Amino acid sequence: MIRVAVWIDIDSRSGVPIYVQLVAQVRHAVEVGGLGPGEKLPTVRGLAEELAIAPNTIVKAYNELQREGLVESRRGVGTVIAEGVAEVAREGKRRAIFERLRLLVRDAAALGITEDDLWEGLDSEFERIPREKGEEG
Amino acid sequence: MADTRAEEAVSVPESAAIQVRDLVVNYGRKRAVDGLSMTVPRGSVYGFLGPNGAGKTSTIKTLMGFRKPNGGSAKVLGYDIVDESLEVRARVGFASEVNSLYEGMTVPRICRLCRDLSRSWDQDLVDRYIGVFSLPADGKIRKLSKGQKAQLQLCLALGSNPELLILDEPTSGLDPVARRAFLKVLVGEVAAEGRTVFFSTHLLSDIEAVADTVGIIKGGKLLVSGDLDDMRESHRVFRIAYAQTPPEDEIQNLRALDGVNEVEREGRGVRLRARGDVGRVERALGDRPHQIVDVDSTGMTLEYIFVAYVEDEDGR
């Protein structure tokens, strides 16, 4: 059994919901390859014992991870990291980047930076990326 | 069996572990519990938070059938607290601060006494918890520390293998280390086994550490109750940076938004506290007539949320 708890550090005093912290940290572990497809997560009871968190909160987090497609529950096995998790993680990152783009454009507009200026900046940033990658797709 | 499948665990329990409606309890001429209504969901770790004298112990004593309510009604595990109080007492594991242990007895002796008084007794379970706490298996109660006595009380409360535990100020008088150890077992073992845990405390830190649901009582009334994560989610502070200092009518318009309960100027910007549908507040901020440079939103700590509720109440 892998110890998911090594990836998880809950701050019960922060204003961030505990289940949100759990979800974000499991997601991070998946993104950095700490947890891979097919790996089994602890049972609700097991994780409640390890982290001393109310079982209901863990159920909520597992449900959210399942909704996001990061984990799936298998009969007789329990909750495991989903097979297509790399795909899901990439899609999540992609969405995060476009969200950052949205904010970037909004902030730029608020500061009076024109669309052309922004394009120029984008172009020169892309120039910096080494050629071999990206070119072939 | 040991595997918990998420879709099973999420199924809604058919009834609440504790359901209280308009409960009134008088002590002489003093009204200790004043129209209290609350629901403790099955499987929850429910923290019953309130200052001393708020009515916590009176509520618990009434739920356990030690006092008769002067009004209202309540059900514990589906049993009426007045007409079926024997059923309640047989099915609920109960420990209270005052319910002192017989100091002269040894640990095995008090276990036997409790077994004789109980309808069903699971000594293996009690022994397991005595082991979890590393309590001296045949020590004299008099020689136990305060923390160990609290632990022993919990062990004894578990003796009937109850599906619901009601604990009155279980951490009271414990030092921070002992309190932490106690709460850790309460949530990591007792609740993890699927038992509902209802405990009272006057310390927010106890709630933050282990509870998933909270009810705040003050002056015999429930001020607020609910899922702690929902509360963290539905209370946010927004710091809004405007391109130019916004005029007074903008401040008034922000105040008038649904869910906004406090707006303060902060330099050229504004600090706004929202409660409820914070998503809608956020959307409203995306569409202001005055230019906004940046919006930063953070969650509120439970301490802040609770203080706000208590102050609201005082302000009325």
Per-residue HEC secondary structure of chain A comes to CCCHHHHCCCCCCCCCCHHHHHHHHHHHHHHCCCCCCCCECCCHHHHHHHHCCCHHHHHHHHHHHHHCCCEEEECCCEEEECCCHHHHHHHHHHHHHHHHHHHHHHHHHHCCCCHHHHHHHHHHHHHHCCCHHHHCC
Residue B50 domain flag? yes
State residue B102's pLDDT score. Answer: 82
- In a domain, residue B8? The reply is no
B239 and B121 both lie in a single domain:
no
Q: Residues B66, B215: one domain?
A: yes
In contact, A8 and A51? CB cutoff 8 Å: yes
Residue B61, in any domain of the structure: yes
Domain harbouring B136, CATH code: 3.40.50.300
From B275's Cα to the closest Cα of chain A, the distance in A is: 13
Identify which of A11, A67, A81 has the alpha carbon closest to the alpha carbon of residue A39: A81
Rounded Cα distance, B224 and B210, in Å: 18
Q: Which domain holds residue B218?
A: 15-225
What residue in B sits closest to A79 (Cα-Cα)?
Answer: B5
Is residue B239 less than 8 Å (CB to CB) from chain A? no
Inter-residue contact A85 to A38 (CB < 8 Å):
no
Please report whether residue B81 resides in a domain. Answer: yes
Q: Give me the pLDDT at residue A137, please.
A: 41
- Tally Cβ neighbours within 10 Å of residue A45: 20
Helices B123-132 and B107-117, interaxial angle, to 10°?
Answer: 140
Phi and psi torsions of B213, nearest 5°: -135, 145
What's the pLDDT band for B158 if we cut at 50, 70, 90? very high
If asked whether residues B218 and B243 sit together in one domain, one would say no
Kindly report the nearest CA distance between residue B98 and chain A, in angstroms: 27
What tokens appear for A118 in the block? 């922004």
Answer whether B58's CB lies under 8 Å from B51's CB. Answer: no
Q: Over 90: is that where the pLDDT of A54 sits?
A: yes
- Which one of B8, B229, B290, B292 makes the best mutation probe of the A interface by having the most chain A beta carbons within 10 Å? B229
- Asked, for residue B68, whether it belongs to a domain, the answer is yes
Do B220 and B238 sit in the same domain of this protein? no
- Asked if residue B263 and residue B125 are part of one domain, the reply reads no
- In this prediction, residue B240 carries a pLDDT of 92
In a domain, B190, yes or no: yes
Share of chain B above pLDDT 70, in %: 94
B26-85 residue pLDDT tens: 998 899 999 999 999 999 999 999 988 899 999 999 999 999 999 999 999 999 999 999
Given an 8 Å threshold on Cβ–Cβ distance, is B232 in contact with A45? no
State whether B121 and B186 are in the same domain. Answer: yes
Are B33 and B181 part of one and the same domain? yes
Q: Does the pTM of the predicted model rise above 0.80?
A: yes
Do B63 and B131 lie in a common domain? yes
pLDDT value of position A8: 84
The pLDDT of residue A134 is above 60: no
CB atoms < 10 A from the CB of B102, how many?
11
Overall domain count for chain B = 2
With 80 as the cut, is the pLDDT of residue A50 above it? yes
Look at residues B198, B225, B252 and tell me which one is the last residue of a structural domain. B225
Last residue of a domain, one of B225, B250, B281: B225
Report the percentage of chain A scoring pLDDT > 70. 91
Nearest CA-CA distance, residue B273 and chain A, Å:
13
Q: Smallest Cα–Cα separation from A57: which of A7, A27, A9, A23? A: A23
pLDDT value of position B223? 92
Q: What is the CATH number of the domain that holds B284?
A: 3.30.70.100
Q: Are strands A78-81 and B92-96 parallel, antiparallel or unpaired?
A: unpaired
The rounded distance, in Å, linking the Cα atoms of B258 and B260 is 6
Do B112 and B171 lie in one domain? The reply is yes
Residue B169 lies in a domain: yes
Least Cα distance to A47 among B127, B301, B6 occurs for B6
Task: Please indicate if any CB of chain A lies within 8 Å of the CB of B192.
Answer: yes
pLDDT band (50, 70, 90) for residue B120:
confident
Name which of B46, B47, B18, B50 is nearest B34 in CA terms: B50
Which helix (DSSP H) or strand (DSSP E) does residue B209 occupy?
helix B204-210
Q: So what's the pLDDT on residue B5?
A: 40
Instruction: Decide if B9 is inside a domain.
Output: no
At residue B219, the 3 state secondary structure works out as coil
R_g of chain B computed on alpha carbons: 23
ipTM of this complex: 0.76
B198: its two tokens: 């209802």
> Chain-wide mean pLDDT for chain B?
89
The string of DSSP letters for B85-96 reads HHHHHHHEEEEE
Report pLDDT digits (tens) over A2-43: 566 677 888 888 889 999 999 999 988 888 888 889 999 999
CA B265 to chain centre: 35
Same domain, B241 and B265: yes
Burial (CB count within 10 angstroms: exposed 0-12, middle 13-18, buried 19+), residue A99: exposed
Q: Which of residues 257-276 of B touch A (CB under 8 A)?
A: none
> A78 touching B, CB under 8 A?
yes
Q: Are residues B220 and B243 in the same domain?
A: no
**Last-in-domain residue among B187, B202, B225:** B225
Q: Is the pLDDT of residue B98 over 90?
A: no
Residues B215 and B257 in one domain: no
